[in-house]
Amino acid sequence: MIIRTERAGDAAAIRSVVAAAFLNAPHSAPSADGTGDPGEAALIDWLRADGAWLPELSLVAIDDDASVIGHVVCTRGRLDGTAALGLGPLSVAPDRQGRGVGSALMQAVIHAADASGEPLIALLGDPRFYGRFGFRPAAELGVAAPDPSWGDYFQALALQAHLPDMRGAFAYAAPFARL
């Protein structure tokens, strides 16, 4: 498996992986784009067309035959007006789940974000999975979730450029509001 940045020709394969990964997810709803795909698949397209898209933080996992088997993206978010990152969705093809693809993508995107001087990554997800990468409830870092009902499922990771006074309400890129 190889992890690399997304290329122009990867968009359809990424959408396919995202749609398959979220097809039966209990928290996912059908997208409003009329395709019948889960909302996360449409979200990738909406994010890619938005100014918050950061191409260097859209990563794919490629298997031996050059097929896309996983994807992760961080887009520009805001922490009380300060630049931060929102992670998601993270997707792995169903037949490749549980084999370390998601973990490899997470490690790669965290490293890339840290190397580019980003201060913080926020996400909504299962603490049992994301905790292994250093994420913790965002409230512990003084970061308020867009929806308070998310509780400890809204998590954050402070990177090397993070300063202790970086606190406040987190806002995802605008396309997240379309879900």
Give pLDDT tens digits for 82-100. 999 999 999 999 999 999 9
Q: How far is CA 128 from CA 73, 77, 78, in A?
A: 20, 23, 25
87 DSSP β-pair partners: 74
Backbone Cα Rg of the chain: 15
Q: Residue 53 pLDDT more than 60?
A: yes
Q: Residue 27 pLDDT more than 80?
A: no
Interatomic CA distance for residues 131 and 59, integer angstroms: 20
- Encode burial over 131-146: b for 16+ CB neighbours within 10 A, e otherwise: eebebebbbebebbbb
Q: What angle do CA 131, 53, 124 make, to 5 degrees?
A: 25
Interatomic CA distance for residues 135 and 113, integer angstroms: 14
Q: What's the pLDDT at 23?
A: 87
Q: What's the pLDDT at 26?
A: 54
Q: Name the one residue in this structure whose structure tokens are 């979220």.
A: 22
Q: Tell me what the mean pLDDT of segment 154-167 comes to.
A: 96
Helices 11-22 and 39-48: crossing angle, nearest 10°?
150
The pTM assigned to this predicted structure is 0.94
Q: Under CATH, which number does the domain 2-178 receive?
A: 3.40.630.30
Residue 153 identity: Y
Residue 88 identity: G
Percent of the chain with pLDDT over 90: 86
Q: Tell me what the mean pLDDT of segment 66-91 comes to.
A: 97
